[in-house]
Structure 1
Amino acid sequence: MAGTNGGVKTLGIKVPDALHAQFTLVAQLDNISLGDAALRAVELYVNTKKAEPDFAARAQAALEAIEREAAARRGGLEGLFGDATPAAENAEADDKGQARRRGASSK
């Protein structure tokens, strides 16, 4: 049955015995399950990383790398079918029309 997790992923990790014992004890003292404790730990990690001074710049660089890779893959796919796809042609025509309108309004 695909999709029965409702947008939830399962994460399995190996934890050294001593850390597992401490983690279990802390979760018991907080009266929460190990799953809830692990979720809190992941949330804390993500929030801590987001607060780092260089995190936004690193995230932006990763986004730019993803966009470059997507553009390269798009070009490869378009190359399989010859000329630009109709969607790409429409986007180019719209870009040219916007450029002409900008040029006409600035005169």
Structure 2
Amino acid sequence: MAGRTNTEEAFVMSEPRNGGSVKTLGIKVPDSLHAQFALVAQLDGISLGDAAIRAVELYVTTKRAEPDFAARAKAALDEIEREAAARRGAIEGLFGSEGPTPGTAEQTTGSTRRRS
């Protein structure tokens, strides 16, 4: 396709495969890079899909080897835990410290409907 100037994610879909889950990743690649990628895959006797998986594996391996990668991953995990704690606190604030019960949720939904 004309007009492609960079690589960007187009879509991601989940699909079951070999008892597990896989993601389908569609990307836009500049024509010249696609031609080189297709040629290299052909010379290696593998499909573009298999070549893409190898490329992603190499990228992940390379990133893991970076000196600051573990610290950045830990910071991301800490942020996820902070956000989860904040959401947990918000839910507990709605229903008290015991959290929501199935009856409480049904009563709230029912009473909201009656008021409408």
TM-score (norm 2): 0.69
More strand by share: 2
Structure 2 stretches of 5 or more lacking a match? Answer: 1-13, 100-116
Report SS of the residue matched to 1:11: strand
**Structural RMSD (CA):** 1.5
* Aligned match of 1:72: 86
Structure 1 stretches of 5 or more lacking a match? Answer: 87-107
Asked which structure has the greater RCO (Cα within 8 Å, sep 6+), the reply is: 2
* 1:73-92 Cα deviation digits (max 9, x unpaired): 0000111102x127xxxxxx
* Aligned match of 2:98: 85
Give me the identity figure in percent: 77
Report SS of the residue matched to 1:48: helix
1:59 to 73, 89, 110: 73
Larger radius of gyration: 1
TM-score (norm 1): 0.74
Corresponding pairs, count = 84
